[in-house]
Structure 1
Amino acid sequence: MGFWRKWRRGFCIRRLSALLFIFAPLFCIQFFFGPGLPDLTRNSRGRIRIRTSENGTRITQIGDFGSLLISMLPDDLAFTVFVPSEAAFEHVLKLTAKTSLMNDKMNATHAILSRAMAFCAVSQRVDSAAVPLLKELLLESVSGFRISVSRASNGALVANNVKSELVDIRKGEIIVHIMDGVIMDAEFEQSFLPDN
């Protein structure tokens, strides 16, 4: 009797493993390359109004690449995105609005942005107040990459040694933190280093 129970249990585990092996890649492909992706257009600038108690209202520029990166996520689900600033997109990822958004470069730009999004998006809401002061909070990005976030005494966030320029911007259920760099793993970073 014990043999049959063990055999059935092993059979069920093998069947569940096979289903997971089949459907997990399909879900990932649908999530990153599904029909909900935006049309990449040159005129899609993302201006967000932010209210501050001392200065009234000021306008900050997320820019083309930040807007495209954020629009890859559904805004009705809880996400936190550590979006690189426009200067970081240009300096680190070598993306410029004049060249990278041309029709012949759109596929490469989209591939870079979707890969960057996998490292800087977290599938939970993390505003700056949720991060302990001067202590680390460990998060996991949608690709499984570990992000260590801490909050300085001035309210700025530091994620994997990248400092924030602006925090707690909301777009639906998404919280956006604009960073002064790009959060990515060593392998992805290696592809942007100069050859010499």
Structure 2
Amino acid sequence: MSGMMAAGRSRMFIPLRPRALSQQRTLLAGLAAAFAVTLLCILLLLSSLPAASSPPPRRRHDIDTTSRTARSPPAHCGAMSASLGEFGDMMVSMLPRDLAFTAFVPSPESFRRVLRLRHNDSAAGLKASDDTYAVISRVLGFSAVPLRLRSGDVALRGTARLLDLDSVSGLKVHAWRDVDGALVVNGVRSECVDIVRDETVVHVMAGVLMDAEFERSLSLQN
């Protein structure tokens, strides 16, 4: 009796095994085909997208943004590109030509009014020339920072944190742009901006940058 039941079970289960394996293989083949089609669609979609352009590299310590100001420059700024005046040219010539600097150079009127330097002072003799050179080199220390800074790289006042720099002599230099676009440095407004001399960017200022000690010495002389 038990032998007949075992034989019946064998006859029932043996035919089902090949059918189950066949269904499983069909299912796996279908999943693989669906995955292959999906992957092909993704690759075709990615290949049709435009390639993203990489941002241009920026040079260290070199700011190349083109400056734009709300006001138009004064008429004499065109002549300033050729000559900063006798003392302005002397001041810029003291800087290395192959290193990046920004110089806030006093205007010719500021050299005369604030520093009491006149054209004849540089030709009046050795002593006058030495004094003139000493004054200009001292002012250069207050007015030069070791990087290239165009006016358009300075934020409008009230829209961002003020730009804080150190001059080559250690004077703290604070720069911003006024609502009319004029560059202002330590409270001194610019007259002409973004004049390029070799690796130096020159901004002509309607005044002189100086520390308190140098300002006191000038007041004693006057």
Question: TM-score of the superposition, structure 2-length normalised?
Answer: 0.60
One of 77, 89, 98 as aligned partner of 2:99: 77
- Consecutive unaligned residues of structure 2, counting only runs of 5 or more, are 1-71
After superposition, give the CA deviation of every residue in 1:113-140 in whole Å (9 maximum; x if it has no partner). Answer: 1100000000011111111111411110
Structure in which a larger fraction of residues adopt strand: 1
Query: In the comparison of the two structures, how many residue pairs are matched?
Result: 143
Residue 131 of structure 2 aligns to a residue in which SS? helix
Identical-residue share of aligned pairs (%): 45
The one-letter code of the counterpart of 1:185 is D
Larger radius of gyration: 2
Query: Residue type matched to 1:173 in 2?
Result: E
- Normalising by structure 1, we get a TM-score of 0.68
Following TM superposition, the consecutive aligned residue runs of length 4 or more in structure 1 with deviations greater than 4 angstroms are none
* Aligned-partner residue type, residue 97 of structure 1: H
Shift of 1:154: 2.5
1:58 aligns with 2:78: yes
Aligned to 1:126: 149
> RMSD of aligned C-alpha atoms?
2.1
Question: Which structure carries more helix by proportion?
Answer: 2
- CA deviation string 1:129-154 (max 9, x = no partner): 11111141111000111011001233
Matches within 5 A, 1:33-52: none
User: Are residues 195 and 168 of structure 1, via their aligned partners in 2, closer, same or farther at CA, if it must alter by over 3 Å?
Assistant: closer
CA shift, 1:110, in A, is 0.6
1:62, distance to aligned residue in structure 2 (A): 1.3
C-alpha distance in structure 2 between counterparts of 1:58 and 1:188, whole Å: 31
Q: How far has the Cα of 1:157 moved from its partner?
A: 0.6
